[in-house]
Amino acid sequence: MSASTLYEYAVVRLVPRVEREEFVNIGVLLYCRKQRYAELLYFVDEERCCLLSKEIDFSLIYAHLQSMHHICKGNKEGGALAQLDQTERFRWLTAKRSTLIQCSAVHPGLCVDAEETHRQLLEKLVL
């Protein structure tokens, strides 16, 4: 049996009208230092999001999510932020913001397989 290891995750939220503080969960950022795993998984249910606001620019939302993905993975498309180490990138992505896309507080857990745990969290918290 494999040993469990610590991971951290935050739920990514779409907040179409920040002043109303209403949101839809659209993704999960997960970081597991021991397994060198850092990834953003997301699914945007556009119909559900439009219930909060009919004026959402989804091309902008997808561009932001793609940028977050590049930063998380350390891809050159993520710019200077992607050059930070994995822990710093996760901390930067999950920092508190008052913007269209926000993250929940960071939550810890234990897992054997970070990738599998990540998929399970996406199913439970977003889909």
Sequence ranges of the domains in the chain = 5-125
How do residues 30-77 score in pLDDT, each as one tens digit?
999 999 999 999 999 999 999 999 999 999 999 999 999 999 999 999
How do residues 90-117 score in pLDDT, each as one tens digit?
999 999 988 899 999 999 999 999 999 9
* Closest of 27, 23, 2 to residue 14, by C-alpha: 23
Whether 1 shows a pLDDT value over 80: the answer reads no
pTM: 0.94
**Could you tell me what percentage of the chain is helix, strand and coil, using 3-state DSSP and rounding each to the nearest 5?**
40, 25, 35
pLDDT at site 2: 77
Question: In whole angstroms, what is the distance from residue 26 CA to residue 49 CA?
Answer: 9
